[in-house]
Structure 1
Amino acid sequence: MTHPIVLRRRTATAALLSLSFPVAAQTTFPAGAVRWIVPFPAGGPSDVLARVCAQKLSERWQQQVNVDNKPGGSTVIGAVEAARAPADGLTLFMPIDSTLTMNPSLFSKLPYHPTRDFHHVSLLATQSLVVLANDRVAAKTLPELIALAKAQPGAINYGSGTISTQLAGEMLNRAAGIKLAYVPYKGSSDVVKAMLSGEIQTSVDGIAPNVPHIKSGRFRALATTGLQRSAALPDVPTLHELGLRDFEVRVWLGLSVPAGTPMAVQRRIQADAQAVMALADVREKLLPLGLEAVGSTPEQFAETIRVETARYAPLIKELGLRLD
Structure 2
Amino acid sequence: MTADKMDKRSPTRRSVVAAALLAIGATAVAPSARASDSYPTKMIRLLVPFPAGSATDVEARFLADKVGAVLGQKILVDNKPGANANIGAAEVARAPGDGYTLYLATNSTHSANVHLYNKMPFDPVADFTPIARLTRNPLVMVVAKDFPASDLKTFIAYAKANPGKLSYGSGNTGSMAAAQLVKSMAGIDAVRVSYPGTPQAITDLLGGRIEFVITDVAVTREFINQGSLRALGVTTLAKVASLPEVPPMAEVGLPGYDFAAWSGLFGPKNVPADVVEKLNKAFLQVMATDEAKKFFAGIGLEPDTSTPQGLADHVTKQTELWGRIIKESGLEKI
Count of aligned pairs: 305
Match 1:90 to one of 100, 108, 111: 100
Specify the alignment match of 1:40 in structure 2.
50
Deviates most, 145-154 or 226-235: 145-154
Which amino acid is 2:332 matched to?
G
Distance 2:74 2:228 in 1: 42
Instruction: Please report the RMSD computed on the Cα atoms of aligned residues, expressed in angstroms.
Output: 2.6
Structure 2 alignment gaps of length 5 or more = 1-24
Tell me the TM-score normalized by structure 2: 0.81
The answer to whether the 8 A contact 2:54-2:218 is kept is no
203 and 76 in structure 1: CA distance in 2 versus 1, 3 angstrom threshold: closer
The answer to whether the 8 A contact 1:132-1:203 is kept is yes
* 1:265-280 equivalence runs, <5 A: 265-280=275-290
Is 1:320 the counterpart of 2:332? The answer is: yes
CA offsets 1:97-121 (integer angstroms, 9 cap, x no match):
1111122223322121000011111
Specify the alignment match of 1:184 in structure 2.
193
Shift, 1:68, TM fit:
2.4
Structure 1 alignment gaps of length 5 or more = 1-9
Provide runs of 4+ in structure 1 moved above 6 Å.
Answer: none
Distance 2:42 2:85 in 1: 26
Deviates most, 229-238 or 136-145: 136-145
Shift, 1:155, TM fit:
4.4
Distance 1:202 1:71 in 2: 22
The answer to whether the 8 A contact 1:278-1:295 is kept is no
155 and 48 in structure 1: CA distance in 2 versus 1, 3 angstrom threshold: closer
The answer to whether the 8 A contact 1:154-1:181 is kept is yes
* 1:4-43 equivalence runs, <5 A: 17=31, 24-43=34-53
Distance 1:231 1:58 in 2: 28
**Does the residue aligned with 1:319 lie in a helix, a strand or coil?**
coil
Shift, 1:169, TM fit:
0.9
* 1:117-266 equivalence runs, <5 A: 117-176=127-186, 178-186=187-195, 187-242=197-252, 244-266=254-276
Which amino acid is 1:166 matched to?
M
Q: Which has the larger radius of gyration?
A: 2
Specify the alignment match of 2:308 in structure 1.
298
Shift, 1:156, TM fit:
4.1
* 1:64-75 equivalence runs, <5 A: 64-75=74-85
Distance 1:306 1:221 in 2: 32
Deviates most, 151-160 or 220-229: 151-160
The answer to whether the 8 A contact 1:41-1:70 is kept is yes
The answer to whether the 8 A contact 1:158-1:180 is kept is no
Is 1:103 the counterpart of 2:103? The answer is: no
150 and 42 in structure 1: CA distance in 2 versus 1, 3 angstrom threshold: closer
307 and 104 in structure 1: CA distance in 2 versus 1, 3 angstrom threshold: same
155 and 113 in structure 1: CA distance in 2 versus 1, 3 angstrom threshold: same
Quick one: percent identity of the two aligned structures? Answer: 33
245 and 82 in structure 1: CA distance in 2 versus 1, 3 angstrom threshold: same
Distance 2:247 2:305 in 1: 25
Deviates most, 43-52 or 94-103: 43-52
The answer to whether the 8 A contact 2:152-2:253 is kept is no
The answer to whether the 8 A contact 1:89-1:257 is kept is yes
Which amino acid is 1:319 matched to?
L
Specify the alignment match of 1:311 in structure 2.
321
Which amino acid is 2:150 matched to?
K
Specify the alignment match of 2:88 in structure 1.
78
Shift, 1:144, TM fit:
2.6
The answer to whether the 8 A contact 1:160-1:182 is kept is no
Specify the alignment match of 1:5 in structure 2.
none
89 and 209 in structure 1: CA distance in 2 versus 1, 3 angstrom threshold: closer
Which amino acid is 2:193 matched to?
P
Distance 2:169 2:67 in 1: 37
Specify the alignment match of 2:15 in structure 1.
none
Is 1:282 the counterpart of 2:292? The answer is: yes
The answer to whether the 8 A contact 1:135-1:217 is kept is yes
Distance 1:205 1:56 in 2: 26
Shift, 1:171, TM fit:
0.8
Shift, 1:267, TM fit:
1.4
